[in-house]
Amino acid sequence: MSRATLRDVAAQAGVSHQTVSNVLNDHPSIRPATRERVMTAIRALDYHPNAAAKALRESRVTTLCCAFYGHAADDITDPYRNLVQSAFIAEANARGYAITTAMLGEEHPEGFEALRTAFRGRSFAGVVVASTTLPPERMRTLAAWGVPTVLFDRADPEGELPSVTADYVGGMAQLVTHHVARGRRDLALVVPGDDFGTSAVLRREGFLAAAHAHGVRARLEEGAWTAEAGELAFRRLWGGEDRPDAVLCGNDRMGAGALLAARTLGVSVPVEVAVSGFDDFEFARYTAPSLTTVHLPHGEMARLAVNRLLDHLEGRAPADESAEVRLPVTLVPRESA
């Protein structure tokens, strides 16, 4: 039932186990007849090579790790993960690699230790870390550990680790321009504050710069990346005397939360206030009103990240290996703004 080995195949085919190995690895100069005989035996015995033995002998790993970093509580339902992971898996599989997934966060530092152990123990060859908030110290640690890494959705401030990101600054600028073009003059952006996330910082900077360029008022309101945080932030903004006429949210989940708050408070969107998100996840179409947002090419980003990692691992890395690759984004106007 379970195990046929190379030698079993060899015996069955009447050759040495070596020859079987050669057939399997498409070695040149195997006689077609031999090859055929071996293949028949392989099929007859339903032989499948033992991955561990192969890995051990070749000291070569064909597994990649896909690590998500964040607060478990916040991110466990984050819809962008599906898309990202699906693309990782598809792309890695296409290049002959398997994917293991890890969940990382400062609340569970043992996760990092486990990652290190797994890497040193040759359980995976390299990692893509998907996160908007990975602390720079962690990047330094990964680099120091020598783990081949590609950052996803987050650049390395030191420029040491390669990364794949989107044009957050440009996206925010497009959004601000859109709001201003529709007559908004008092914009508020809800984003996490000091969360180590250049992603948040860039969204903030893009927002402030664009608002300034247009000569409109710009203010910031703090909120985590969750729907609930968007809800609370909107309530705070609306609770004051001095209400903005557009509430931009750092992502779509927050946008959905803000829309709920508006609805609960009886605030008409987009008449009284415009609301926008960022990311363009599936349900941005299904909020009421539907959510104006910026589309990030998450699938493409994920494919790119995997390919950069694999190019590095397979030694065909380009010159700009540690650079940040920043993909363009597109404004998606809907009903909310």
Sites of contact with a copy of itself (CB under 8 A): 1-2, 46, 48-53, 55-56, 61, 63, 72, 76-79, 81-83, 85-86, 89-90, 93, 98-103, 114, 116-118, 120-123, 146, 227, 253, 256-257, 259-260, 263, 281-283, 285-288, 290
Out of 58, 110, 242, 320, the only residue in the binding site for DNA (CB under 7 A) is: 58
Q: Of the two residues 128 and 313, which places its CB atom closer to DNA in the complex?
A: 313
Question: Using CB atoms within 10 A of its CB, is residue 21 exposed (0-12), middle (13-18) or buried (19+)?
Answer: middle
Residue 22 near which of DNA, a copy of itself, none (CB within 5-8 Å, type-dependent) = DNA
The residue among 252, 211, 250, 195 whose CA lies nearest residue 77 is: 252
Does position 125 interact with DNA (CB under 7 A)? The reply is: no
Q: Of the two residues 5 and 34, which places its CB atom closer to a copy of itself in the complex?
A: 5
Residue 29 near which of DNA, a copy of itself, none (CB within 5-8 Å, type-dependent) = DNA
The residue among 267, 270, 290 whose CA lies nearest residue 280 is: 290
Distance CA 159, CA 235 (A): 38
Distance CA 189, CA 250 (A): 7
Out of 11, 34, 186, 238, the only residue in the binding site for DNA (CB under 7 A) is: 34
Q: Which amino acid is at 184?
A: R
DSSP state of 248: E
Q: Which amino acid is at 233?
A: A
Ramachandran region of residue 118, left (φ > 0), alpha (ψ -120 to 50) or beta?
Answer: alpha
Closest separation in Å from C-beta 311 to a copy of itself: 20
Residue whose structure tokens are 């046929």: 4
Residue 25 near which of a copy of itself, DNA, none (CB within 5-8 Å, type-dependent) = DNA
Using CA atoms, how far residue 204 sits from 91, 132, 209, in Å, is: 32, 13, 9
Out of 50, 82, 93, 264, the only residue in the binding site for DNA (CB under 7 A) is: 50
Distance CA 246, CA 179 (A): 7
Distance CA 274, CA 307 (A): 39
Closest separation in Å from C-beta 88 to a copy of itself: 9
Residue 7 near which of a copy of itself, DNA, none (CB within 5-8 Å, type-dependent) = DNA
Does position 79 interact with DNA (CB under 7 A)? The reply is: no
Q: Of the two residues 38 and 173, which places its CB atom closer to DNA in the complex?
A: 38
Q: Of the two residues 238 and 283, which places its CB atom closer to a copy of itself in the complex?
A: 283
Buried b (16+ CB within 10 A) or exposed e, 118-130: bbeeeebbbbbbb
Does position 31 interact with DNA (CB under 7 A)? The reply is: yes
Q: Which amino acid is at 300?
A: E
Residues engaged in binding DNA (CB under 7 A):
3, 5-7, 14-19, 21-22, 24-25, 27, 29-31, 33-35, 47, 49-50, 53-54, 56-59
